[in-house]
Structure 1
Amino acid sequence: MVSRGSYGSGGLLTGRFHARKLTPSVITFYTIFIFAFSIIVFLFYVRNISLDQDPRRPFIYRQSNSQQLPELHVHDKQQLWDSPFNHGLHQCVERTTKYKAAKGFNRYLTVRSNGGLNQMRTGISDMVAVAHMMNATLVIPQLDKRSFWKDSSVFSDIFDELHFIQSLKGDIRIVSELPKNLEGIPRARKHFTSWAGFGYYTDMTRLWSDYQVIHVAKSDSRLANNDLPLDIQRLRCRAMYQALRFSPPIENLGKRLVDRLRSQGGRYIALHLRYEKDMLSFTGCSYGLTDAESEELRILRENTNYWKVKAINSTEQRIGGFCPLTPKEVGIFLHALGYPPSTPIYIAAGEIYGGNTHLSELSSRFPNLIFKESLATSEELKDFTNHASQTAALDYIICVESDVFVPSYSGNMARAVEGHRRFLGHRKTINPDRKGLVGIFDMVETGVLEEGKELSQMVQRMHKNRQGAPRKRHGSPPGVKGRARFKTEESFYENPYPECICGSKSKLEIT
């Protein structure tokens, strides 16, 4: 198009030369005009080239083998990274006009928060709500030091304690420790019922007639996901997404690592690769492992006292979609979605089981894998060594801030990150349909289906509506009755819509 325009302009000028005699000044004018026009065309052409080569823009890596990625249109390229349309929804955690702060200054709730980082975070947020419902003062929770990771961190090592206390002062009173004069008095030790509602905790206030201190032995899953007062649900969101800010050292390093990721390639995927020894052992998933590795995991499961299920059928687990995706399966999955091999992928995980032996099955497809250890200096990480919850907090920050988040398993961190990203504006989260993908992976493994256009179309259709778009929280599946239905409901912290995510009445209601 440019050459045709240049040619036409030249013809027009030639005709004018024959029509009249040109003076030196006119010749000079036309010479300058043609030179300036050529410069403009050249700059426009160079600009287009530079835009195409901008490292922040996704591009298609053309492979020479049979696994060549399907060619995408420009619109499709953008869709790889764009967040789903949020219909004007926004976060809303304001108190209603009927809300009153708890004033239980002479009643104290002490808590032992169990589990890993995100299990503790959701449990602490629940305990904030429980303290309000029971009109009690919350003592800063004790963190789990006996879980699989045996992390010795205290509350202030992981969270900004002063910020936690100050930001919730309009809701409940929080103190750093139990008053000295109450340390030796008898206290009620309670295992509150799982997924309990407002009425249950109202009834539990009868304990205050006999005790001044109630100790909660476990904090996880103590509160129902649904059917709680709006103000209680919004209090849970204020606690989870605003009050439980990480400690300054974690926040500062986490933000630096995000900036470094952005400087390397602009956009990045955060992959929560839950292919770790404890998770594989807990779920009983041995697909793709050697016999020796499978036996090692079986022995670990057998010797872990608080894991109730000891004998697990690995094949049934995988067919049911209860196993984490293997590194190889993640590679096939992301390839099929259309992400080019050059895509920066941050690996949020502990030590990958089997090390490079299994990780290479992902890196062969996506060589640009990035770990904390490659982003941060050893000096920056030294204070976090042997503190799994603190390093998990760094992963959490990087995952929440990523352009795309992909969890290989729906564990506590995956659910917490997805919920936080929904709260922040429905940032793109691709949740693999592990049960549906099993058949596809098996066809690839047996050679029935090759990686290419057909596979991509199948995977993309399957995940069209699994990318974090707004929707109301799911209840229990049909037919589930009794208390079992509470366990099968979607976690409140996985999707805090509709209580903590609002839209004007004129907007489309999402169902």
Structure 2
Amino acid sequence: MVNKRGNYSHSRNSLATKLFPRKLTLFSITVYAILLFAFSIFIFIFHIFEHERMKPLSSEGSQSQQLPDNKLWGAPHYYGLRPCVKPTAKYKATQGWDRYMTVRSNGGLNQMRTGISDMVAVARIMNATLVIPQLDKRSFWQDSSAFSDVFDELHFTTSLQGDVRIVKELPKELEHVPRARKHFTSWSGMSYYEEMTHLWKDYQVVHVVKSDSRLANNDLPVDIQRLRCRALYYALRFSPSIDNLGKKLVERLRSRGGRYIALHLRYEKDMLSFTGCTHGLTDAESEELRIMRENTNHWKMKKINSTEQRKGGFCPLTPKEVAIFLQALGYPPSTLIYIAAGEIYGGHIHLLDLTSRFPNVVFKETVASQDELKTFSNHASQTAALDYIISVESDVFIPSYSGNMARAVEGHRRFLGHQKTITPDRKGLVEVFDKMEAGQLEEGTSVSYLVMQLHKNRQGAPRKREGPLQGFKGRARFRTEESFYQNPYPECICRSKSTL
């Protein structure tokens, strides 16, 4: 053992002597320096290569790995489901009633549309003749449009003549008689309205002060639910001028790129002020929104924690967040995007966060001529109707916030065959965006994977309407139910071949 160890030591010393002689010449030092420098360069290049190889793809790199067209644009499988809104065999035709119901609709376009559909069903339940509803002229938009300016009035009355008697106005002899003014309880069912028929003992006319959310989402007879669908999807057709221009704009969008995304970008001043969401805004902009909220009397919430709102998923996505979201889903920069919304808060400055990544962004003002839009100027309900038509007809619909229009369009697209509708998981996305801002995530394959996983079951595939959230009791639970008009399955969508 000793000899072996000694031999090994001697050999090692001999090798060291050969490699590193005690007296180094200038030439040897130069050679060693050059070799050491070359080796350092090699190590540096190797580490750079490995870092780039292991790093997630950048946003540009991710765009080179495009998903197949059917993944990006294809509608989810709808399993042969189709609209089924014909009445059952038990349904009886309307009668010529001499009791009348007048209605003042409230809210924006889609809040009024669903409210009017509710009132059609309520009139049916209460055996009343429905007078053409008055549209809201006192909302935020101060729109003076009459019913016939927005909807095809003749079509509305004739298409529902087997369900409810509808007249343009009260008979002359009833114009000045006392009316029962009623603010019907929200989300009420059959028994409530059957009880309300006692009003006919003392009154011949009942005036409904508000129309929105007057009917329950669930636990109603199938014939009442189908009547709501017939009213909304068939009877409440837009006026010929709106309908014709809407179809023209869809054709023009198709001629530009064949396919397009309708993006309902709720980044408008009133929405941001109402929700108290200020992420990404300047201090001056945040203060402006706070003052607006303070001065709007019917908005009950005055002090709102913007950070908590955003973390809870209660804020509309910002233009920048929408751009990252679309990119993560795999849509290329050339994608045609139609913005279905009012004036974007901050205008070009905030919108640049979206257009810098997706430059092919258009509005109705860029698709239609000034002369075509002149008729609809200063009429928010009519211009919103154009956005609605274009959104329903789009290849993909994406709302940045779950407001009235987003819910109505989603429900209509489900009714028409479950067309692709991607509803952002805002709470989950905020976690992703915050990690990106903190440098814990980089745009590319890792972000794309997280976003796609979050939304694989949020693309409009058939599913039954969701009930109330857990933990809510009493009437408060009704507010948490999924809206009937957001998902009219199963009452108005089935495998039956019976369609209207």
Please indicate, yes or no, whether the TM-score normalized by the shorter chain is above 0.5: yes
Number of equivalent positions: 441
Q: Distance in 2 between matches of 1:347 and 1:459?
A: 22
1:70/1:453 contact within 8 Å kept: no
- Structure 1, unmatched stretches of 5+, are 1-63, 506-511
Which TM-score applies when normalising by structure 2? 0.87
In structure 2, relative to structure 1, the CA distance for the partners of 1:65 and 1:206 (3 Å cut) is closer
**What residue in structure 1 maps to residue 431 of structure 2?**
439
Q: Distance in 2 between matches of 1:341 and 1:65?
A: 14
Q: 1:431 is matched by which residue type in structure 2?
A: T
Residues 1:133 and 2:125 aligned together: yes
**What residue in structure 2 maps to residue 327 of structure 1?**
319
1:102/1:136 contact within 8 Å kept: no
Superposition map of 1:25-424 within 5 A: 67-72=60-65, 76-103=68-95, 105-424=97-416
In structure 2, relative to structure 1, the CA distance for the partners of 1:319 and 1:144 (3 Å cut) is same
Q: Distance in 2 between matches of 1:281 and 1:221?
A: 23
**Residue of structure 2 aligned with 1:478, choices 453, 470, 488:** 470
Residue 449 (structure 1) shift? 1.1
Q: Distance in 1 between matches of 2:437 and 2:248?
A: 40
Residue 65 (structure 1) shift? 6.4
1:101/1:132 contact within 8 Å kept: no
**What residue in structure 1 maps to residue 17 of structure 2?**
none
3-state secondary structure, aligned to 2:104: strand
Residue 78 (structure 1) shift? 2.0
3-state secondary structure, aligned to 2:278: coil
Q: Distance in 2 between matches of 1:66 and 1:351?
A: 29
Which TM-score applies when normalising by structure 1? 0.85
Residue 504 (structure 1) shift? 5.3
Q: Distance in 2 between matches of 1:504 and 1:73?
A: 38
Q: Distance in 2 between matches of 1:446 and 1:360?
A: 22
Structure (1 or 2) with the larger CA radius of gyration: 2
Deviations 1:280-332 (A, max 9, x none): 01111011111111111111111111111111111111011000000000000
3-state secondary structure, aligned to 1:335: helix
Q: Distance in 2 between matches of 1:188 and 1:312?
A: 38
Question: What do you get for the CA RMSD once the two structures are aligned?
Answer: 1.2
Q: 2:293 is matched by which residue type in structure 1?
A: R
Q: Distance in 2 between matches of 1:204 and 1:101?
A: 21
Deviations 1:136-160 (A, max 9, x none): 0000000000000000000000000
In structure 2, relative to structure 1, the CA distance for the partners of 1:366 and 1:66 (3 Å cut) is closer
Q: 2:291 is matched by which residue type in structure 1?
A: I
Residue 66 (structure 1) shift? 5.5
Residue 72 (structure 1) shift? 3.8
1:95/1:231 contact within 8 Å kept: yes
- Deviation above 6 Å: which 4+ runs of structure 1? none
Residue 450 (structure 1) shift? 1.1
Q: 1:359 is matched by which residue type in structure 2?
A: L
Q: Distance in 1 between matches of 2:87 and 2:476?
A: 31
**What residue in structure 1 maps to residue 417 of structure 2?**
425
3-state secondary structure, aligned to 2:375: helix
Q: Distance in 2 between matches of 1:66 and 1:289?
A: 24
Q: 1:281 is matched by which residue type in structure 2?
A: S
Identity of aligned residues (%): 75
**What residue in structure 1 maps to residue 30 of structure 2?**
none
Q: Distance in 1 between matches of 2:183 and 2:397?
A: 35
2:58/2:442 contact within 8 Å kept: no
**What residue in structure 2 maps to residue 509 of structure 1?**
none
Q: 2:72 is matched by which residue type in structure 1?
A: L
Deviations 1:460-504 (A, max 9, x none): 011000000000000001222110110000000000000000015
**What residue in structure 2 maps to residue 500 of structure 1?**
492
